Homo-oligomer: A and B are copies of this chain.
């Protein structure tokens, strides 16, 4: 942490800050510059709210230096994490790129079984599908809940695909764990700390979506809650951020992929469906995500998007998915990976 004093800070004011810094258990290194004094502070006290020092007289600002997360960081673990998912233990984070696909919501047995078969045929390794749906409006379809979970499990049994499904409450955590291979924590719940803590105690891998306008630090700290709770198997999922852009549901910042690969050992997958919001934009962004180095994709696929109960606008058809897979395969090969 660096404390920057305002120009004209007196010796006493600098000393007052030094006293505060020491109270916080840190060691100070004051540096007197041409215009102002800065105080570099050494020591790792991530738990204290050092921002409070900003309120001392003549302090201009506090500049943090250390990353606020630890266990998620490449500083603590250099080796990349590989997280095995589903009955076939596909290793997300290894040399292979894994594609997860399926409908936004489980709607009925025929739909989920048919889609599961189709995405399996296409070469995907996971099946997504929502049983508990967090919906912006209380009047929207909220999911089939437990029945949906059972249908997903049935689809896994029939296909060997890893089932990825969202958990939205501590109360239903156990039930979801019973049926799912991967627990999805959605963008809206990225900072739902009781839920993160419960996921830390669950025995299943977690796919943690980036919050709607989270920074990378906030996202990695959310992962840190889960790891800190005892669960190292966290997959990060970039799904787009909110910006002023109005033609897409979210802006998909693929730069997060190489940046996260610098900062964390955790695998990173991309969701081009929520990342764009429109089916005609999905294939290009699937390709771009693989090219940028994503460890996998999670894509919304629906056999009849015009009648989908949610996210129809951003769902592609199984046929489109089948057509896309060889291109993605070539992309992976071009950077020395495969599918």
Contact = CB atoms under 8 A, between A and B. Distances in A.
Oligomer copy total: 4
Nearest to A33: B42
11 contacts: A23-B307, A49-B308, A55-B313, A69-B137, A136-B191, A136-B218, A252-B255, A258-B284, A284-B293, A291-B292, A327-B334
Given A49-B140, A136-B218, A169-B170, 8 more contacts: A34-B42, A46-B137, A51-B311, A138-B221, A189-B192, A243-B253, A245-B253, A258-B283
A186 to B, nearest CB: 9
Given A42-B33, A49-B141, A255-B285, A279 B193 contact: no
A281 B309 contact: no
Which has the most chain B C-beta neighbours within 10 Å: A33, A35, A259?
A: A33
B241 A251 contact: yes
A40 interface: yes
A135 interface: yes
Given A51-B313, A191-B134, A281 B259 contact: yes
Interface of A: 2, 4, 7, 20, 23, 29, 31, 33-36, 38, 40, 42-44, 46-47, 49, 51-56, 62-63, 65-66, 68-69, 75, 134-141, 168-171, 188-189, 191-194, 211-213, 215-216, 218, 221, 224-225, 228, 241-248, 251-255, 257-259, 262, 275-276, 278-281, 283-285, 287-293, 305-313, 315, 327, 330-331, 333-335
